[in-house]
Amino acid sequence: MTDAMRAETITITGHGGDRIEAYLARPLDGGPRGGVVVIHHMPGYDAATKEIVRRFAAEGLSALCPNLYSREAPGADPDDAAATVRAAGGVPDERLVGDVAGAAEHLKSLDNANGKIGVIGYCSGGRQTFLAACSLTVDAAVDCYGAFVVNEPPPGRPIKMHPLLHLAPQLSAPLLGLFGAEDQYPSPEETKALAAELDRLGKQYEFHTYDGAGHAFFAVDRPSYRPEAAVDGWRRILDFFRTHLS
Amino acid sequence: MCTYLTEAIPVDGSGKGARGWFEARKAIVYVDHPVHAPYGHTVNIDVLNPELGPSARVALELTEETALALADAIQQAIRSAPAGIASRTAVTQA
Protein backbone atom coordinates (compact mmCIF):
# COMPACT_ATOMS: atom_id res chain seq x y z
CA MET A 1 0.00 0.00 0.00
CA THR A 2 1.33 3.42 -0.98
CA ASP A 3 -0.10 6.91 -1.13
CA ALA A 4 2.02 7.86 -4.14
CA MET A 5 0.25 9.54 -7.01
CA ARG A 6 1.12 11.01 -10.38
CA ALA A 7 -0.37 14.23 -11.76
CA GLU A 8 0.38 15.63 -15.18
CA THR A 9 -0.88 17.36 -18.30
CA ILE A 10 -1.68 14.93 -21.09
CA THR A 11 -3.38 14.98 -24.48
CA ILE A 12 -6.59 13.03 -25.04
CA THR A 13 -8.97 12.56 -27.93
CA GLY A 14 -12.10 14.66 -27.49
CA HIS A 15 -15.16 15.48 -29.54
CA GLY A 16 -14.77 14.98 -33.26
CA GLY A 17 -11.42 13.27 -32.80
CA ASP A 18 -9.79 16.54 -31.72
CA ARG A 19 -6.67 16.25 -29.63
CA ILE A 20 -7.23 18.31 -26.49
CA GLU A 21 -5.29 19.11 -23.36
CA ALA A 22 -6.30 17.44 -20.09
CA TYR A 23 -5.02 17.14 -16.53
CA LEU A 24 -4.74 13.64 -15.10
CA ALA A 25 -4.04 12.58 -11.52
CA ARG A 26 -3.95 8.94 -10.52
CA PRO A 27 -2.97 6.80 -7.55
CA LEU A 28 0.04 4.56 -8.17
CA ASP A 29 -0.80 1.62 -5.92
CA GLY A 30 -2.05 -0.64 -8.67
CA GLY A 31 -5.81 -0.45 -8.25
CA PRO A 32 -8.36 -1.35 -9.39
CA ARG A 33 -9.65 2.21 -9.27
CA GLY A 34 -12.70 4.08 -10.45
CA GLY A 35 -12.28 7.14 -12.63
CA VAL A 36 -13.77 10.62 -12.29
CA VAL A 37 -14.15 13.14 -15.11
CA VAL A 38 -13.89 16.62 -13.60
CA ILE A 39 -15.67 19.35 -15.60
CA HIS A 40 -14.14 22.71 -14.82
CA HIS A 41 -16.13 25.84 -14.02
CA MET A 42 -16.64 28.71 -16.43
CA PRO A 43 -13.45 30.54 -15.30
CA GLY A 44 -11.62 27.68 -16.89
CA TYR A 45 -9.07 24.95 -16.53
CA ASP A 46 -7.33 26.69 -13.69
CA ALA A 47 -5.11 25.93 -10.71
CA ALA A 48 -8.07 25.47 -8.36
CA THR A 49 -9.62 22.88 -10.67
CA LYS A 50 -6.34 20.99 -10.96
CA GLU A 51 -6.21 20.93 -7.16
CA ILE A 52 -9.63 19.23 -7.18
CA VAL A 53 -8.30 16.64 -9.64
CA ARG A 54 -5.37 15.89 -7.35
CA ARG A 55 -7.69 15.63 -4.35
CA PHE A 56 -9.54 12.78 -6.02
CA ALA A 57 -6.27 10.96 -6.68
CA ALA A 58 -5.23 11.47 -3.07
CA GLU A 59 -8.55 9.91 -2.10
CA GLY A 60 -7.92 6.84 -4.27
CA LEU A 61 -9.69 7.69 -7.53
CA SER A 62 -8.16 8.42 -10.92
CA ALA A 63 -9.34 11.83 -12.12
CA LEU A 64 -9.13 13.63 -15.43
CA CYS A 65 -10.14 17.17 -16.33
CA PRO A 66 -10.35 17.99 -20.03
CA ASN A 67 -9.52 21.58 -20.93
CA LEU A 68 -12.81 22.55 -22.55
CA TYR A 69 -11.17 25.67 -23.97
CA SER A 70 -8.29 23.82 -25.69
CA ARG A 71 -9.51 24.58 -29.16
CA GLU A 72 -10.12 28.33 -28.82
CA ALA A 73 -7.15 29.13 -26.63
CA PRO A 74 -4.37 26.53 -26.72
CA GLY A 75 -1.65 27.40 -24.26
CA ALA A 76 -3.36 30.57 -23.03
CA ASP A 77 -3.69 31.52 -19.38
CA PRO A 78 -6.96 30.09 -17.99
CA ASP A 79 -8.51 33.53 -17.47
CA ASP A 80 -7.64 34.67 -21.00
CA ALA A 81 -9.04 31.41 -22.39
CA ALA A 82 -12.23 31.80 -20.37
CA ALA A 83 -12.72 35.37 -21.61
CA THR A 84 -12.31 34.23 -25.19
CA VAL A 85 -14.78 31.37 -24.87
CA ARG A 86 -17.27 33.52 -22.96
CA ALA A 87 -17.17 36.12 -25.70
CA ALA A 88 -17.74 33.40 -28.28
CA GLY A 89 -20.89 32.15 -26.52
CA GLY A 90 -19.54 29.31 -24.39
CA VAL A 91 -18.87 25.63 -25.03
CA PRO A 92 -21.41 23.96 -27.36
CA ASP A 93 -23.31 21.16 -25.61
CA GLU A 94 -22.52 18.57 -28.28
CA ARG A 95 -18.81 19.26 -28.03
CA LEU A 96 -18.92 19.02 -24.23
CA VAL A 97 -20.47 15.57 -24.42
CA GLY A 98 -17.80 14.44 -26.87
CA ASP A 99 -15.00 15.76 -24.70
CA VAL A 100 -16.40 14.07 -21.58
CA ALA A 101 -16.78 10.83 -23.54
CA GLY A 102 -13.16 11.07 -24.60
CA ALA A 103 -12.05 11.70 -21.03
CA ALA A 104 -14.09 8.72 -19.80
CA GLU A 105 -12.55 6.46 -22.44
CA HIS A 106 -9.09 7.58 -21.44
CA LEU A 107 -9.79 6.81 -17.77
CA LYS A 108 -11.11 3.37 -18.71
CA SER A 109 -7.91 2.68 -20.65
CA LEU A 110 -5.64 3.23 -17.63
CA ASP A 111 -3.94 0.07 -16.43
CA ASN A 112 -5.42 0.45 -12.94
CA ALA A 113 -9.00 1.17 -14.11
CA ASN A 114 -11.96 -0.80 -12.81
CA GLY A 115 -14.19 0.42 -15.65
CA LYS A 116 -16.43 2.62 -13.48
CA ILE A 117 -16.81 6.29 -14.39
CA GLY A 118 -18.11 9.21 -12.38
CA VAL A 119 -18.62 12.77 -13.59
CA ILE A 120 -18.50 15.91 -11.46
CA GLY A 121 -18.75 19.56 -12.42
CA TYR A 122 -18.95 22.95 -10.79
CA CYS A 123 -20.88 26.08 -11.81
CA SER A 124 -21.48 25.76 -15.58
CA GLY A 125 -19.84 22.34 -15.19
CA GLY A 126 -22.72 21.31 -12.93
CA ARG A 127 -25.15 21.78 -15.77
CA GLN A 128 -22.70 20.04 -18.10
CA THR A 129 -22.48 17.12 -15.66
CA PHE A 130 -26.24 16.63 -15.94
CA LEU A 131 -25.93 16.88 -19.71
CA ALA A 132 -23.15 14.29 -19.80
CA ALA A 133 -24.96 11.91 -17.45
CA CYS A 134 -28.06 12.09 -19.67
CA SER A 135 -26.07 11.67 -22.89
CA LEU A 136 -23.51 9.02 -21.92
CA THR A 137 -23.57 5.86 -19.84
CA VAL A 138 -21.78 6.62 -16.58
CA ASP A 139 -21.92 5.18 -13.06
CA ALA A 140 -22.31 8.29 -10.89
CA ALA A 141 -22.77 12.03 -11.39
CA VAL A 142 -22.29 15.02 -9.07
CA ASP A 143 -23.81 18.39 -9.93
CA CYS A 144 -22.30 21.21 -7.87
CA TYR A 145 -24.56 24.25 -8.23
CA GLY A 146 -25.25 23.92 -11.92
CA ALA A 147 -27.90 26.34 -13.20
CA PHE A 148 -30.16 26.26 -16.25
CA VAL A 149 -30.93 22.56 -16.03
CA VAL A 150 -34.58 23.48 -15.49
CA ASN A 151 -34.88 27.19 -16.23
CA GLU A 152 -34.01 29.26 -19.28
CA PRO A 153 -31.15 31.71 -18.72
CA PRO A 154 -32.32 35.31 -18.28
CA PRO A 155 -32.55 37.15 -21.58
CA GLY A 156 -29.47 38.98 -22.80
CA ARG A 157 -26.86 36.54 -21.58
CA PRO A 158 -24.02 36.00 -23.99
CA ILE A 159 -23.65 32.36 -23.11
CA LYS A 160 -25.85 30.09 -25.17
CA MET A 161 -27.44 27.60 -22.77
CA HIS A 162 -30.72 25.77 -22.94
CA PRO A 163 -32.58 23.85 -20.24
CA LEU A 164 -31.92 20.13 -20.09
CA LEU A 165 -34.92 18.85 -18.16
CA HIS A 166 -36.27 17.07 -21.24
CA LEU A 167 -33.18 14.83 -21.10
CA ALA A 168 -33.92 13.62 -17.55
CA PRO A 169 -35.51 10.33 -18.70
CA GLN A 170 -32.08 9.38 -20.09
CA LEU A 171 -30.20 10.08 -16.84
CA SER A 172 -27.91 7.05 -16.72
CA ALA A 173 -26.58 7.19 -13.16
CA PRO A 174 -27.36 8.15 -9.57
CA LEU A 175 -27.10 11.92 -9.19
CA LEU A 176 -25.75 13.81 -6.19
CA GLY A 177 -26.66 17.50 -6.19
CA LEU A 178 -24.98 20.03 -3.89
CA PHE A 179 -26.45 23.51 -3.82
CA GLY A 180 -26.45 26.74 -1.83
CA ALA A 181 -29.67 28.03 -0.28
CA GLU A 182 -28.62 31.59 -1.13
CA ASP A 183 -27.76 30.85 -4.75
CA GLN A 184 -29.85 32.48 -7.47
CA TYR A 185 -28.44 30.35 -10.29
CA PRO A 186 -29.60 27.71 -9.52
CA SER A 187 -32.18 28.91 -7.04
CA PRO A 188 -33.64 26.46 -4.52
CA GLU A 189 -36.85 26.61 -6.56
CA GLU A 190 -35.00 25.39 -9.64
CA THR A 191 -33.37 22.47 -7.82
CA LYS A 192 -36.72 21.56 -6.25
CA ALA A 193 -38.25 21.42 -9.71
CA LEU A 194 -35.44 19.13 -10.85
CA ALA A 195 -35.97 16.89 -7.82
CA ALA A 196 -39.69 16.70 -8.55
CA GLU A 197 -39.01 15.57 -12.12
CA LEU A 198 -36.49 12.97 -10.97
CA ASP A 199 -39.07 11.71 -8.44
CA ARG A 200 -41.65 11.46 -11.18
CA LEU A 201 -39.25 9.48 -13.34
CA GLY A 202 -38.13 7.22 -10.49
CA LYS A 203 -34.49 8.28 -10.85
CA GLN A 204 -31.99 7.78 -8.03
CA TYR A 205 -30.75 11.10 -6.69
CA GLU A 206 -29.65 12.84 -3.51
CA PHE A 207 -29.77 16.63 -3.18
CA HIS A 208 -28.39 18.76 -0.35
CA THR A 209 -28.94 22.51 -0.10
CA TYR A 210 -26.71 24.28 2.41
CA ASP A 211 -27.98 27.18 4.48
CA GLY A 212 -25.65 30.15 4.56
CA ALA A 213 -24.04 29.17 1.26
CA GLY A 214 -24.46 30.71 -2.17
CA HIS A 215 -22.89 29.94 -5.51
CA ALA A 216 -19.36 28.46 -5.63
CA PHE A 217 -19.11 27.52 -1.96
CA PHE A 218 -16.43 24.93 -2.78
CA ALA A 219 -14.10 27.56 -4.26
CA VAL A 220 -11.36 27.92 -1.66
CA ASP A 221 -9.79 30.90 -3.45
CA ARG A 222 -12.96 33.00 -3.59
CA PRO A 223 -15.00 34.91 -1.00
CA SER A 224 -17.92 32.60 -1.76
CA TYR A 225 -16.09 29.78 0.05
CA ARG A 226 -18.16 28.33 2.89
CA PRO A 227 -16.01 25.87 4.84
CA GLU A 228 -18.85 24.05 6.61
CA ALA A 229 -20.73 23.40 3.36
CA ALA A 230 -17.55 22.56 1.47
CA VAL A 231 -16.26 20.11 4.08
CA ASP A 232 -19.61 18.35 4.31
CA GLY A 233 -19.93 18.43 0.51
CA TRP A 234 -16.52 16.85 -0.03
CA ARG A 235 -17.42 14.09 2.44
CA ARG A 236 -20.63 13.38 0.56
CA ILE A 237 -18.89 13.43 -2.83
CA LEU A 238 -16.23 10.96 -1.74
CA ASP A 239 -18.78 8.65 -0.06
CA PHE A 240 -20.94 8.80 -3.19
CA PHE A 241 -18.10 7.95 -5.56
CA ARG A 242 -16.75 5.22 -3.28
CA THR A 243 -20.21 3.66 -3.25
CA HIS A 244 -20.87 3.84 -6.97
CA LEU A 245 -17.37 3.53 -8.46
CA SER A 246 -16.03 0.61 -6.45
CA MET B 1 -22.54 30.48 -13.39
CA CYS B 2 -23.44 34.13 -13.28
CA THR B 3 -22.49 35.85 -16.49
CA TYR B 4 -24.78 38.80 -17.00
CA LEU B 5 -25.30 40.92 -20.06
CA THR B 6 -22.14 41.45 -22.04
CA GLU B 7 -21.59 44.68 -23.89
CA ALA B 8 -19.15 44.48 -26.76
CA ILE B 9 -17.87 47.46 -28.74
CA PRO B 10 -15.19 47.98 -31.37
CA VAL B 11 -12.34 50.15 -30.09
CA ASP B 12 -9.46 51.94 -31.76
CA GLY B 13 -6.18 52.38 -29.88
CA SER B 14 -3.65 50.25 -28.06
CA GLY B 15 -3.45 48.20 -24.90
CA LYS B 16 -0.60 46.64 -22.96
CA GLY B 17 -1.07 43.01 -22.02
CA ALA B 18 1.12 40.25 -20.66
CA ARG B 19 3.15 40.16 -23.88
CA GLY B 20 3.48 43.89 -24.38
CA TRP B 21 1.63 46.46 -26.44
CA PHE B 22 -0.91 45.45 -29.04
CA GLU B 23 -3.49 47.15 -31.25
CA ALA B 24 -6.80 47.13 -29.38
CA ARG B 25 -9.74 46.16 -31.55
CA LYS B 26 -12.58 45.21 -29.20
CA ALA B 27 -13.74 45.92 -25.65
CA ILE B 28 -16.24 43.85 -23.68
CA VAL B 29 -17.89 44.76 -20.41
CA TYR B 30 -19.74 42.24 -18.26
CA VAL B 31 -20.63 41.43 -14.67
CA ASP B 32 -19.33 38.07 -13.53
CA HIS B 33 -17.20 36.32 -10.95
CA PRO B 34 -13.73 37.86 -10.87
CA VAL B 35 -10.59 35.79 -11.26
CA HIS B 36 -8.55 37.87 -8.83
CA ALA B 37 -10.54 40.65 -7.13
CA PRO B 38 -11.76 39.60 -3.68
CA TYR B 39 -15.50 39.92 -4.39
CA GLY B 40 -18.29 37.65 -5.46
CA HIS B 41 -19.02 39.62 -8.62
CA THR B 42 -17.28 42.50 -10.32
CA VAL B 43 -17.62 44.63 -13.41
CA ASN B 44 -15.13 43.07 -15.78
CA ILE B 45 -13.65 44.99 -18.69
CA ASP B 46 -11.54 43.29 -21.32
CA VAL B 47 -9.74 45.14 -24.08
CA LEU B 48 -8.82 42.66 -26.79
CA ASN B 49 -7.45 41.98 -30.19
CA PRO B 50 -9.09 38.67 -31.14
CA GLU B 51 -6.90 38.32 -34.22
CA LEU B 52 -3.82 38.10 -32.03
CA GLY B 53 -5.23 35.37 -29.77
CA PRO B 54 -6.52 35.11 -26.20
CA SER B 55 -3.38 36.60 -24.64
CA ALA B 56 -3.86 39.94 -26.40
CA ARG B 57 -6.04 41.11 -23.55
CA VAL B 58 -6.03 43.85 -20.92
CA ALA B 59 -8.34 42.85 -18.09
CA LEU B 60 -9.93 44.86 -15.28
CA GLU B 61 -12.14 43.57 -12.45
CA LEU B 62 -13.74 46.53 -10.62
CA THR B 63 -16.48 46.97 -8.06
CA GLU B 64 -19.50 48.66 -9.53
CA GLU B 65 -18.78 51.84 -7.57
CA THR B 66 -15.29 52.12 -8.99
CA ALA B 67 -16.35 51.05 -12.48
CA LEU B 68 -18.89 53.88 -12.52
CA ALA B 69 -16.28 56.26 -11.11
CA LEU B 70 -13.92 55.20 -13.90
CA ALA B 71 -16.60 55.90 -16.49
CA ASP B 72 -17.15 59.36 -14.98
CA ALA B 73 -13.41 60.00 -14.90
CA ILE B 74 -13.13 59.13 -18.59
CA GLN B 75 -15.93 61.57 -19.38
CA GLN B 76 -14.35 64.27 -17.22
CA ALA B 77 -10.90 63.83 -18.74
CA ILE B 78 -12.29 64.19 -22.24
CA ARG B 79 -14.40 67.22 -21.27
CA SER B 80 -11.40 68.99 -19.77
CA ALA B 81 -9.21 68.56 -22.87
CA PRO B 82 -9.61 70.57 -26.08
CA ALA B 83 -12.59 69.20 -27.98
CA GLY B 84 -11.67 66.45 -30.41
CA ILE B 85 -7.96 66.38 -29.58
CA ALA B 86 -7.99 62.64 -28.85
CA SER B 87 -10.40 61.68 -31.59
CA ARG B 88 -9.44 59.45 -34.48
CA THR B 89 -9.86 62.38 -36.83
CA ALA B 90 -7.47 64.56 -34.85
CA VAL B 91 -4.77 61.89 -34.85
CA THR B 92 -5.12 61.43 -38.60
CA GLN B 93 -4.76 65.15 -39.23
CA ALA B 94 -1.78 65.64 -36.88
Distance between CA atoms of residues A187 and A194, nearest Å:
11
Q: Does B41 touch chain A (CB under 8 A)?
A: no
Active site residue A111: no
Give the model confidence (pLDDT) of A196-231 as tens digits: 999 999 999 999 999 999 999 999 988 899 999 999
What is the predicted pLDDT for the residue at A87?
80
Percentage of chain A exceeding pLDDT 70: 98
Q: What is the DSSP letter of A222?
A: S
What is the CB-side half-sphere exposure of residue A245 using CA atoms within 13 A? 34
Question: Which sequence spans correspond to the domains of chain A?
Answer: 5-244
Strand partners, A125: none
Mean residue pLDDT across chain B: 90
Residue A27, classed as helix, strand or coil, is strand
Percentage of chain A exceeding pLDDT 90: 86
Question: Which sequence spans correspond to the domains of chain B?
Answer: 7-93
Mean residue pLDDT across chain A: 95
Active site residue A134: no
pLDDT at A77 over 50: yes
For the domain A5-244, what is the CATH code? Answer: 3.40.50.1820
Q: How many CB pairs under 8 A join A and B?
A: 75
State residue A101 phi and psi, 5-degree precision.
Answer: -60, -40
Q: Which of A87, A51, A53 has the alpha carbon at shortest distance from A72? A: A87
